[in-house]
Amino acid sequence: MKKLVQTPVLVVGAGPVGLQIGMDLGWRGTDCVLIDEANGLPVIHPRAAGISPRTMEFCRRWGIVDQVRKFGFPADFDMSVVYCTSLVGHLIGREEYPPLQCQRQVPFSPENQWRCPQTVFDPLLANALRSYESVRLYYKHRLMAFKTSDDCVRAEVLDLENDRTSIIEAKYLVACDGAGSNITASLGIEAEGKRALSYSLNAVIDIPGFFKLHRMGEAVRYLFIGPEGTWANLTAVDGHDRWRFTLIGTEEKLELSKLDMKSEIRRAFGTDAIPFEIVAMAPWRRSESIAREYRRGRILIAGDAAHTMSPTGGHGMNTGAGDAVDLGWKLDAVLRGWGGAHLLDSYEAERRPVAIRNARNSSENFRTWLSAARSSDVTADTPAGHEARETVSRTLRESLRAEWDSWGIQLGYRYESSPICIPDGSPAPPDDPSDYVQSARPGSRAPHFWLPDGRSTLDLFGRGFVLLRLCAEDPDVGPLVRAATASRVPFSVVDINIADLRDLYGAPLVLVRPDGHTAWRGHAVPNRPDEVIDVVRGAGRGREHAPAGDERSTVPVSIAT
Ligand SMILES: Cc1cc2nc3c(=O)[nH]c(=O)nc-3n(C[C@H](O)[C@H](O)[C@H](O)COP(=O)(O)OP(=O)(O)OC[C@H]3O[C@@H](n4cnc5c(N)ncnc54)[C@H](O)[C@@H]3O)c2cc1C
């Protein structure tokens, strides 16, 4: 007889997104099982490295942000980007970026963007997960098949070590099985977008003492420009000897069996005198592809299984981290019984538009850096060559700036059409990819503000709903507290009387969800607090019927901080 394991949540795929779903559930004390067919050793082909400030904020919440900074990329490494015709050819431009330790602290977050290669980030998440009693993580376990019924999902899982099959019975299955997800395919969920923006071949290479072997200066990335445009790049993986060489081309040109990767690398180096060793190679397709559905009954889709985007900008995994945190509290709420019948549906309504937006921006970055650098004269030792390099340098600089300073993309996403946020009628601030202006307009990330005790406002959020009461007059919030209590919604009231904070949040009363997004704000307790609570916990009738916050209440309340 097959072994039977029961769990409320089965997460299939323990890549960075699956692991973050496990983290959020574990942090909430919710039972879950994660499986991955991989062996749990650091991945040979690390992809994600850029950790956005929002993902850093999540890591801060989970208590691992110091480890990301300590064990991630070396903090004193020069983060500049060089564009050149080859390492011994023309230097076209150099975009100066400071080492991580010298970054200017952004005013709108308690965290900065950071760099942590997947070879460190995934194991760090996996280790942290293991400290949660409620989480079980099994590597070398492959999902073979699954069946859904009215009350559960039954997954057939093969233990690759001993070739034994077991059944995992879960209330919900979260598909985090990456791009080309077999789970979405077997559900017949289609994707929309562009299947192939370009084809690339990655080679992970070791180059001991690289900086001493050329004169282009220290940098985290080198872009190689030929008459055909940007044809390759070299990116630091671990800040030591390991690098990733990416060759851009067509599907036919990049066929592994026909391609001499060593000679391509030598073309980029411009010399045979730089010794290197190829550790591994992998072809990949750059795409902009978004699943049409994020939920099918008891199955939820997250990370690359739901969306793929060009890595130009480094938004793929970070978008998946946003999925993880949106889903974590909703699954927890439903399993604990206070989440309403529509709460899990709001996951698609909130996260899919964000993926579409981020993927479009990433493709735009890619198009700019491809077209910016196309000039037949670029390698020539002539005045025309010089001019071509100047032009390429200028346009590449603009596109790289857009990638680096993408604060709006990273922090400014908001849940405009969410059925569980209550609009307050205020106009939407511009959705600028670079600029980010903090706003507590319902659906937005609740703004960061340093409190007198040294905490960030963000440190107040996470475990349940938080009602911020940001005024001196103490408006009576008893009706809201009682409505929350009646629905078993974890709810606390935090009093802070700081005028600047009130101005930043735009109202004296602001209701913040467990994921740190605002759900409602107003100048007085709403006249139907039970309806507000029902809407924000996914049990209400949606935004069209959302009650307005316009009526003062006189019921006394006890305040928890
Ligand atoms: C060159 C490159 C650079 C990038 N840089 C960045 C960056 O700087 N920042 C960023 O945010 N993003 C970046 N990305 C994107 C990022 O790598 C992905 O978005 C991210 O890895 C997706 O994580 P995931 O967990 O959804 O999927 P994956 O990392 O693909 O993980 C899926 C997991 O599912 C497992 N699995 C699959 N099928 C099964 C099965 N049947 N049973 C059990 N397990 C299964 C796999 O073994 C795997 O571990 C980059 C991508 C590329 C190509």
Q: What is the DSSP string of 366-396?
A: HHHHHHTT--TTTT-SSHHHHHHHHHHHHHH
Provide the angle, in degrees to the nearest 10, between the axes of the packed helices 345-371 and 383-404.
Answer: 170
**Quick one: DSSP state of residue 460?**
G
Confirm or reject: Cβ of 323 under 6 Å from ligand 1: no
Residue 422 CB neighbours (<10 A)? 26
Nearest CA to ligand 1 atom 33: 13
Residue 444 CB neighbours (<10 A)? 22
Q: Which of 11, 20, 47, 125 is the best mutation target for the ligand 1 pocket, counting ligand atoms within 8 Å of the beta carbon and taking the most?
A: 47
Confirm or reject: Cβ of 37 under 6 Å from ligand 1: yes
**Residue 542: predicted pLDDT:** 53
Q: What values do phi and psi take at 545, rounded to 5? A: -100, 5
Helices (H), 87-154: 118-130
Cβ-contact 481, 560 below 8 angstroms: no
Distance 500 CA to ligand 1 centre (A): 41
Q: Which residues pair with 81 in a beta bridge?
A: 95, 221
**Residue 372: predicted pLDDT:** 65
Signed CA dihedral, 439, 445, 449, 451: sign only: positive
Q: Distances in Å between the alpha carbon of 364 and those of 51, 210, 372, 402, 433?
A: 20, 32, 12, 10, 11
Q: What is the token pair recorded at 169?
A: 């019975």
Distance 446 CA to ligand 1 centre (A): 28
Cβ-contact 176, 257 below 8 angstroms: no
pLDDT in tens, the chain (561 residues): 788 899 999 999 999 999 999 999 999 999 999 999 999 998 888 899 999 999 999 999 999 999 999 999 999 999 999 999 999 999 999 999 999 999 989 999 999 999 999 999 999 999 999 999 999 999 999 999 999 999 999 999 999 999 999 999 999 999 999 999 999 999 999 999 988 888 999 999 999 999 999 999 999 999 999 998 889 999 999 999 999 999 988 776 667 777 899 999 999 999 999 999 999 999 999 999 999 999 999 999 999 999 999 999 999 999 999 999 999 999 999 999 999 999 999 999 999 999 999 999 999 988 887 776 678 899 999 999 999 999 989 888 887 887 878 999 999 999 998 999 999 999 999 999 999 999 999 999 999 999 999 999 999 999 999 999 999 887 899 999 999 999 999 999 999 999 999 999 999 999 999 999 999 999 999 999 999 999 999 998 654 444 443 332 222 223 232
- For the chain, helix (H) and strand (E) counts, in that order, are 13, 22
**Residue 403: predicted pLDDT:** 81
CA distance 451 to 498: 9
Residue 321 DSSP SS3:
helix
Amino acid at 93: G
Residue 459 CB neighbours (<10 A)? 15
Confirm or reject: Cβ of 24 under 6 Å from ligand 1: no
CA distance 348 to 230: 36
Characterise 313 by phi-psi region: left (phi > 0), alpha (psi -120 to 50), beta (else): left
Q: What is the token pair recorded at 349?
A: 């309504």
Distance 179 CA to ligand 1 centre (A): 7
Residue 202 host element (H or E): strand 191-206
CA distance 409 to 302: 18
Helices (H), 254-382: 261-269, 316-336, 345-371
Nearest CA to ligand 1 atom 20: 317
**Residue 358: predicted pLDDT:** 97
Residue located via tokens 């900008």: 313
Ligand 1 atom index nearest CA of 318: 11
CA distance 423 to 378: 52
Confirm or reject: Cβ of 16 under 6 Å from ligand 1: yes
CA distance 75 to 106: 17
Provide the angle, in degrees to the nearest 10, between the axes of the packed helices 316-336 and 345-371.
Answer: 180
CA distance 115 to 238: 10
Cα radius of gyration (the chain):
25
Length of the chain: 561
Q: What is the token pair recorded at 413?
A: 């996403």
Ligand 1 atom index nearest CA of 141: 43
Burial profile 9-41: b = 16 or more Cβ within 10 angstroms, e = fewer:
bbbbbbbbbbbbbbbbbbbbebbbbbbbbbeee
CA distance 207 to 219: 14
Q: Which residues pair with 35 in a beta bridge?
A: 12, 138
Distance 14 CA to ligand 1 centre (A): 9
CA distance 559 to 13: 42
Distance 320 CA to ligand 1 centre (A): 9
Characterise 474 by phi-psi region: left (phi > 0), alpha (psi -120 to 50), beta (else): left
What's the whole-model pTM score? 0.94
Closest CA to 30 of 383, 338, 310: 338
Closest CA to 83 of 245, 226, 214, 223: 223
Task: Tell me how many degrees the CA angle 438-440-445 measures, rounded to the nearest 5.
Answer: 70
Q: Which residues pair with 282 in a beta bridge?
A: 202
Amino acid at 428: A
Residue located via tokens 């939920």: 295
Residue 502 DSSP SS3:
helix
Confirm or reject: Cβ of 239 under 6 Å from ligand 1: no
CA distance 20 to 321: 6
Confirm or reject: Cβ of 477 under 6 Å from ligand 1: no
Nearest CA to ligand 1 atom 52: 47
Q: Which of 21, 36, 221, 325 is the best mutation target for the ligand 1 pocket, counting ligand atoms within 8 Å of the beta carbon and taking the most?
A: 36
pLDDT tens digit sequence for 86-125: 999 999 999 999 999 999 899 999 999 999 999 999 999 9
The set of residues, in sequence order, having a beta carbon less than 8 Å from that of 354 and lying 6+ positions away, is 319, 322, 413
Nearest CA to ligand 1 atom 18: 317
Nearest CA to ligand 1 atom 3: 47
Nearest CA to ligand 1 atom 9: 314
Distance 122 CA to ligand 1 centre (A): 10
As a whole number of Å, the end-to-end CA separation of the chain is 52
Residue 372 CB neighbours (<10 A)? 22
